[in-house]
Chain A
Amino acid sequence: MKKATFIAVAATATLMATAVSATTLEDVKAKGYIQCGVTTGLAGFAAPNNDGKWEGFDVDYCRAMAAAIFADPDKVKYTPTTAKERFTALQSGEIDVLARNTTWTLSRDVNLGFTFIGVNYYDGQGFMVKKSLGVKSALELDGARVCIQSGTTTELNLADYFTANGMDFDPVLFDTADEVREAYLQDTCDVYTTDQSGLYAQRSVIPDPEAHIVLPEIISKEPLGPLVRHGDNQWGDIARWTLNAMIAGEEHNISSANVDDLKANTKNPGIARILGTSGDLGEQLGLSNDWAFNIYKMVGNYGESFAKNLGEGTPLNIARGLNAQWNNGGILYSAPMR
């Protein structure tokens, strides 16, 4: 698989010299779908359901982009990527956008040649252990064997945290989240560490979730968000404002339930602008004026997507916390749509 992506890089970097002149939007419109990179399967964020259809919080973002561009949320093809392969896939042009709970860092933004278009989930790295170990704090983990998924910021934070606290650890690295979970469940490792959202997602599929606890410490900031390649600002703008539109929708109480009504009757100029009944925001992006309307109508706003995939009542049962709107105790804040 890795060799395949490498060849893809080499091939696109070498042979596609003339093909890169068309913009990503034109390319996407020409082929008729968005190629969206997602995880190989993380419950709640991106995983195939029983019918084989991809579902989840990150999948909803891809669907929102398709709704904005094609007025059809199903015009997405999903490429499952491991943490290790995801960047090569985006660099090589194999995928158009990567929505794969990826942490926004300086070196990824600059050195790897990507543009992070925003944050769709504020997360932090945590630890999960078996209750039977009797560990109450991450500071008691000196000498533990830790299972990690390779190719993540998790690896770096873990090394930093243990060094800073003068503790030893023994890392064991796997390619996919499933292998990490399997090794953790077999007690080959004492600790499973990844972003807290990932820990909750993994705990939701463990046979006996009550036997495991997520430790209180959060050892890092993990702003997770979608990203695109450097070099095509128009495509980056579409990706950025799709996310902003989802967040702004919740802020302005525009949901899939009331969007038809609002479009016909709203007196609020801000909402009318977002929904495209006044102004030309969509055209400025190179899309139709009802792009945001389509997002709400076909996918829903940020809050709806969160509630459906991650929130209370789902197996993950994650509280909004930092991911609540700015006027509601969180730090979710969309730039103004005007």
Chain B
Amino acid sequence: MTTDVQGLGAGDSKLRDPRVRAIIYQILVIVLFVAFVAYVGNNTADNLDKRGIATGLGFLQQPSGFGIGIVLLMDYSSQTSTHFDVLLIGIINTLAVSIAGIFFATLIGFTFGVLRLSKNWVVSRIAYVYIEVVRNIPLLVQLLFWYFAVWGTLPLWKESFQIGDNFYVNNRGINFPSIIPTDGFWLIPVGLLAAIALSVVVSKWARKRQDLTGQPFPVFWASVGMIVILPLIAAIIMGLPFNIDYPTVARFGLRGGWVLEPEFLALLTGLCVYTGAFIAEIVRSGINSVSHGQTEAAHSLGIAPGLTTRLVVLPQALRVIVPPLTSQYLNLLKNSSLATAIGYADITAIFAGTTLNQTGQAIEVIAITMLFYLSISLIISMFMNWYNKRISLVER
């Protein structure tokens, strides 16, 4: 009887073998999927052709012909630059606001996450109100609020708030002097890089020394000192190789110097304040997850409160904080596409907006845009996963 049960399938055919069947199903699914993709692709090309809509990436080489408000790191002219340049500018602008946004959102998030746990009733209530209000209003509404109700209602440029002689705040943004490199400027970034490299070496040395002798070394302040002083020395050696361009009053607002445009500022504040509230909750839950006994144990060993937070609580809290923090960073990047509502020239506004409209290449443009967001999101995920692995509990 027992042999019968086993031989029931094997006797009939290989098809009764669950492993074989599993493989057959897998193959079937793959074939169906490939067939579906091929069908969709073929049909799309066919229908586009029938409607006389051009396809391909040739449009990227055509001159763009329109102006862009915010151009960083590149030269752009509506007459000679191509749609490919538009794509690059869109990417740079999206990355600029996302990176700044992630930095400030993290700062805001950690600050309010800690304040939320403060023993001071007023402080913790303020943090609570901020988190609850901001989390429960749609981001688009907040962006419109920041753009039209905050930055837009600042004084006109003729009546700017002035800080010092050369720093202006008005409804056209923030104007401040710019640094224009001249010959020999290269030594300053070289000095900066050298300082950073040296800081890494020093921190490794300091850790080794502390392991051997127990003597701590003020790595943080040493690094800050080097990062400030080395470029400064470089600048002095080369005889201050830069000019300073001050904002001056022209017919239509201030010209010269650098300007942070209100569209950028509104998007940045909106994204930071919004994402910061979510991060604050994540930080609070992370800190709460570390049992209070840990803190008490550290205190009873005579470790100072600041060091307790830094060396005992935070490393354990980070393990809870980092994974959800990653998805907040991804959200911030993706939410930056709402820029199009308030006139900031991000990739969605200028490439998936104007370029799409002027060339009519909807499928190609949207595919490129999606590919961009996907790649950047994956890169952020990979970095955060690496960081998460680094700080995770090492079991021995």
Residues of A within 8 A of B (CB): 2, 6, 9-10, 12-17, 20, 83-84, 87-88, 91, 107-108, 110-113, 140-145, 147, 150-152, 155-156, 158-160, 162-163, 169-175, 179, 182-183, 186-188, 190, 229-231
In contact, B68 and A156 (Cβ under 8 angstroms):
no
User: A151: shortest Cβ distance to chain B, in Å?
Assistant: 4
Cα distance, A84 to B366, chains bound together (Å): 13
In contact, B360 and A14 (Cβ under 8 angstroms):
no
User: B83: shortest Cβ distance to chain A, in Å?
Assistant: 13
Cα distance, A15 to B263, chains bound together (Å): 40
**Is B181 interfacial (CB 8 A cutoff)?**
no
**Is B43 interfacial (CB 8 A cutoff)?**
yes
Cα distance, A230 to B353, chains bound together (Å): 23
A6-B362, A155-B66, A158-B67 known; A84 vs B353 contact (CB < 8 Å): yes
In contact, B353 and A151 (Cβ under 8 angstroms):
yes
**Is B172 interfacial (CB 8 A cutoff)?**
yes
Kindly name the residue among B50, B251, B362 whose own CB sees the greatest number of chain A CB atoms within 10 A. B362
| B residues less than 8 Å from A172 (CB atoms) | 69, 263, 343
| A residues less than 8 Å from B51 (CB atoms) | 91, 113, 229-231
User: A188: shortest Cβ distance to chain B, in Å?
Assistant: 6
Cα distance, A83 to B54, chains bound together (Å): 21
| B residues less than 8 Å from A179 (CB atoms) | 341-343
Cα distance, A140 to B252, chains bound together (Å): 10
Which residues of chain B in 60-91 are interfacial with respect to chain A, using CB atoms and an 8 Å cutoff?
Answer: 65-69, 77-79
In contact, B53 and A84 (Cβ under 8 angstroms):
no
In contact, B52 and A230 (Cβ under 8 angstroms):
yes
- 20 residue pairs A–B, Cβ–Cβ below 8 Å: A6-B362, A6-B363, A14-B43, A17-B46, A17-B47, A91-B360, A110-B52, A113-B51, A141-B252, A155-B66, A160-B65, A162-B67, A171-B69, A172-B263, A179-B343, A183-B152, A183-B343, A186-B171, A188-B171, A188-B172
| B residues less than 8 Å from A144 (CB atoms) | 252
**Residue total for B at the interface (Cβ-Cβ under 8 A):** 50
Cα distance, A143 to B259, chains bound together (Å): 14
In contact, A159 and B357 (Cβ under 8 angstroms):
no
Residue of A nearest to B251 (CB): A143
Which residues of chain B in 342-396 are interfacial with respect to chain A, using CB atoms and an 8 Å cutoff?
Answer: 342-343, 345, 349-350, 352-354, 356-360, 362-363, 366
Residues of B within 8 A of A (CB): 40, 43-44, 46-48, 50-54, 65-69, 77-79, 148, 152-153, 156, 171-172, 250-253, 255, 262-263, 340-343, 345, 349-350, 352-354, 356-360, 362-363, 366
A156-B358, A159-B67, A188-B262 known; A13 vs B43 contact (CB < 8 Å): yes
Cα distance, A13 to B53, chains bound together (Å): 11
In contact, A231 and B67 (Cβ under 8 angstroms):
no
| B residues less than 8 Å from A13 (CB atoms) | 43-44, 47-48, 363
Kindly name the residue among B78, B79, B152, B153 whose own CB sees the greatest number of chain A CB atoms within 10 A. B78
User: A132: shortest Cβ distance to chain B, in Å?
Assistant: 10
User: A277: shortest Cβ distance to chain B, in Å?
Assistant: 39
Residue of B nearest to A159 (CB): B78
A13-B44, A183-B343 known; A159 vs B354 contact (CB < 8 Å): no
Cα distance, A245 to B170, chains bound together (Å): 54
| A residues less than 8 Å from B50 (CB atoms) | 20, 231
Cα distance, A170 to B79, chains bound together (Å): 15
| A residues less than 8 Å from B54 (CB atoms) | 111
In contact, B79 and A10 (Cβ under 8 angstroms):
no
In contact, A175 and B251 (Cβ under 8 angstroms):
no
Residue of A nearest to B65 (CB): A156
| A residues less than 8 Å from B357 (CB atoms) | 83-84, 87, 150-152
Cα distance, A143 to B172, chains bound together (Å): 13
Cα distance, A175 to B354, chains bound together (Å): 10
User: B141: shortest Cβ distance to chain A, in Å?
Assistant: 14
Cα distance, A188 to B78, chains bound together (Å): 22
Q: Which residue of A151, A163, A183, A231 is within 8 Å of B79 (Cβ)? A: A163
A145-B172, A190-B252 known; A10 vs B363 contact (CB < 8 Å): yes
| B residues less than 8 Å from A87 (CB atoms) | 357, 360
Kindly name the residue among B77, B79, B358 whose own CB sees the greatest number of chain A CB atoms within 10 A. B358
Q: Which 10 A-B pairs have the closest CB atoms?
A: A159-B78, A151-B357, A112-B360, A155-B66, A171-B67, A186-B152, A144-B252, A113-B53, A113-B52, A13-B47
Residue of B nearest to A151 (CB): B357
User: B373: shortest Cβ distance to chain A, in Å?
Assistant: 12
Cα distance, A144 to B153, chains bound together (Å): 19
Contacts A14-B43, A183-B152 known; list 7 others, CB within 8 Å.
A9-B362, A9-B363, A14-B44, A113-B52, A145-B172, A150-B340, A171-B69
Q: Which residue of B47, B345, B362 is within 8 Å of A173 (Cβ)? A: B345
| B residues less than 8 Å from A150 (CB atoms) | 340, 349-350, 353-354, 357
| B residues less than 8 Å from A151 (CB atoms) | 353-354, 356-358
In contact, A187 and B171 (Cβ under 8 angstroms):
yes
Residue of A nearest to B48 (CB): A13
Kindly name the residue among A15, A150, A160, A190 whose own CB sees the greatest number of chain B CB atoms within 10 A. A150
